[in-house]
Amino acid sequence: MGRILAIDYGQKRVGIAATDELQIIASGLTTVHVKDIWDFLKDYLEKEKVDCIVVGKPTDMRNRPSDSSRFVEPFVNKLKKTFPRIKVDRYDERFTSRIAQDTMLAGGLKKKKRQDKALVDTISATLILQSYMESLNR
């Protein structure tokens, strides 16, 4: 069994999370600059067996694609073409950044650490992955 990789794709940064090999635990991996995502993915996928890549699907409150979709959709299309043997799923990412901020606050992180946008992106990817995994178990 391979890992599930989750991606929170943004205009500047990409938050990344992954499961363990048994697909039980979701953990934040890192945040990379958007220009470095392809090198990161190539390297990671050479080292780790990945069964599925889940990419956050930006939607508005009416379940329509949000403004961010114009950046995410080309990425997803290229992802499918670049790694055709890996399943690519989409998962609703609404409120993940807000929940990540709330989680950091509840966890007692200092204000300076809570303002670390890279950390927010990594936590957001982890939330997407955890929600996706829960949806598989329903």
What is the pLDDT tens value at each position of the chain, 138 positions in all? 899 999 999 899 999 999 999 999 999 999 999 999 999 999 999 999 999 999 998 776 677 766 777 889 999 999 999 999 999 999 987 656 666 566 656 666 566 655 557 777 888 899 899 989 988 887
Separation CA 70–CA 77 (nearest Å):
12
Predicted local confidence at residue 105, as pLDDT: 60
- pTM for this model (two decimals): 0.84
Predicted local confidence at residue 97, as pLDDT: 60
Predicted local confidence at residue 111, as pLDDT: 62
Name all domains of the chain by residue range, CATH numbers in brackets. Answer: 3-136 (3.30.420.140)
